[in-house]
Homo-oligomer: A and B are copies of this chain.
Amino acid sequence: MATQRIIDFLATRRPDGPCLVVDLDVVADNFRAFERALPDSRIYYAIKANPAPEILRMLAKMGSSFDAASVAEVEMAMNAGAPASRISFGNTIKKERDIARAYQLGVRLFAVDCVEEVEKIARVAAGSRVFCRVLTDGAGAEWPLSRKFGCVPVMAVDVLRRAHALGLEAYGVSFHVGSQQTDLAAWDRALGDARQVFAALAEEGIVLRMVNLGGGFPTRYLRDVPAAEAYGQAIFDALRKHFGNAIPETIIEPGRGMVGNAGVIKSEVVLISKKADNDNVRWVFLDIGKFGGLAETMDEAIRYPLVTRHDGDATAPCVLAGPTCDSADVLYEKTPYPLPLSLTIGDEVLIEGTGAYTTTYSAVAFNGFEPLRSYVI
């Protein structure tokens, strides 16, 4: 997944220190793949995955809409050329003054998951569209969702009824099947729940129009995953099954699926050592770790593919760790990582599939290390 453009960039520029390089061509390919797979859905790119201005500008030009988690992200999308009408304020947890600010900027689409949030929006963003997030179980996802977002479907009915009563447009239902979701049946279960909410409100004369299918579209890490086309078909089948001929408008919010496989982090081996002479496991320390952009290795949830110039040589299991003085800054220890025995201090290690959720997770200055630099080419 280190494209030739990325390899050439690193060979030519030879940047010092760890950095992320993102290939815009891959992002463009991903956008078109989503368009092909789900031709009737509008694509709202989840800015939080990677808000690099070059990525936002290209996607805006290609016609993408944007899912923003904060006012700052609304402004990033607008600065990249997206009109406010193409921006969804998708965070269910918003300060009232931030809702007001987004409304002033022209945003008219907001996520909610409780009556309290509906009331804020009614106060400062009159007439806006709201969609209510319902809880899903997240089974099958690599980066599991907690119960943090969403409410049970029966409560979503109350939330949207309240929105309607307060003069907002009760617009639809959203869910998120969990990040890196590889179980296609997860969409079927969630769409069944969404259908219940549509039906209950229709009985009261409130007609919902939209289902937000969320994100969760996996990027390719170590394992093969069903391609975007398979996702599209599975989702279409589930929509047909639950909504028959009255298929609602749909939105998707890919983040990782749009940029994850477009980026590669270049890092360097700082140290290789053992804890005791008779230890079988070597410790390999890189110049990037959990606080430098690889936060998603938390609990060893995501296992990135590593590329070295010694690939093909005999390997042995290694604990992989970051460069900070924090003992929690260990990437893979429970399941050690097989790395070439010929790997040495100073060698370059490419960490693939790191285009999403790396730069912005990076700590601002932990241990004095600067945040992860990024080049978008």
Cβ-defined contact, A48 with B368, below 8 A: yes
Cβ-defined contact, B146 with A72, below 8 A: no
Cβ-defined contact, B367 with A276, below 8 A: no
- Report how far A366 CA is from B70 CA in the complex, Å: 10
Q: Majority SS of interface residues in chain A? A: loop
- Report how far A371 CA is from B363 CA in the complex, Å: 9
Q: A237 CB to closest chain B CB, in angstroms? A: 27
Q: Out of B152, B325, B327, which one reaches A275, CB within 8 Å? A: B152
For window 102-152 of chain A, which residues contact chain B by CB distance below 8 Å?
A: 113-117, 120, 135, 138, 143-152
Cβ-defined contact, B91 with A325, below 8 A: yes
- Report how far A369 CA is from B51 CA in the complex, Å: 12
Q: Which of A27-35, A193-201, A307-315, A354-362 contacts B (4 or more CB under 8 A)?
A: A354-362
Cβ-defined contact, A345 with B116, below 8 A: yes
Chain B contacts for A272, CB-based, 8 A: 116
Chain B contacts for A328, CB-based, 8 A: 143, 146, 298
- Report how far A368 CA is from B90 CA in the complex, Å: 13
Q: Size of chain A's interface in residues, with CB distance under 8 A?
A: 79
Chain B contacts for A76, CB-based, 8 A: 368
Chain B contacts for A270, CB-based, 8 A: 93-95
Q: Taking A117-B271, A330-B146 as contacts, is the C-beta distance between A363 and B365 under 8 angstroms?
A: no
Chain B contacts for A298, CB-based, 8 A: 298, 328
Cβ-defined contact, B323 with A93, below 8 A: yes
Q: Out of B47, B144, B359, which one reaches A368, CB within 8 Å? A: B47
- Report how far A369 CA is from B72 CA in the complex, Å: 7
Q: Out of B47, B93, B283, B368, which one reaches A51, CB within 8 Å? A: B368
Report if A73 contacts B (CB, 8 A): yes
Cβ-defined contact, A275 with B150, below 8 A: yes
Q: A178 CB to closest chain B CB, in angstroms? A: 8
Cβ-defined contact, A368 with B73, below 8 A: yes
Chain B contacts for A345, CB-based, 8 A: 96, 116, 120
Chain B contacts for A84, CB-based, 8 A: none
Q: Out of B144, B268, B330, B362, which one reaches A363, CB within 8 Å? A: B362
Report if A37 contacts B (CB, 8 A): no
Q: Out of B46, B330, B363, which one reaches A360, CB within 8 Å? A: B363
- Report how far A135 CA is from B324 CA in the complex, Å: 17
Chain B contacts for A273, CB-based, 8 A: 113-117, 151
For window 32-81 of chain A, which residues contact chain B by CB distance below 8 Å?
A: 46-48, 51, 68-73, 76
Chain B contacts for A222, CB-based, 8 A: none
Q: A217 CB to closest chain B CB, in angstroms? A: 16
- Report how far A149 CA is from B325 CA in the complex, Å: 8
In the complex, per-residue mask of A249-264: 1 if CB is within 8 Å of any chain B CB, else 0: 0000000000000000
Cβ-defined contact, B361 with A291, below 8 A: yes
Report if A274 contacts B (CB, 8 A): yes
- Report how far A110 CA is from B139 CA in the complex, Å: 48
Q: Taking A116-B345, A333-B146 as contacts, is the C-beta distance between A274 and B364 under 8 angstroms?
A: no
A-B contact pairs, 5 of them (CB 8 A): A46-B325, A72-B368, A73-B367, A93-B270, A146-B333
Task: Identify the 8 closest CB pairs spanning chains A and B, nearest first.
Answer: A72-B368, A114-B273, A70-B368, A73-B368, A69-B367, A145-B327, A364-B371, A152-B276
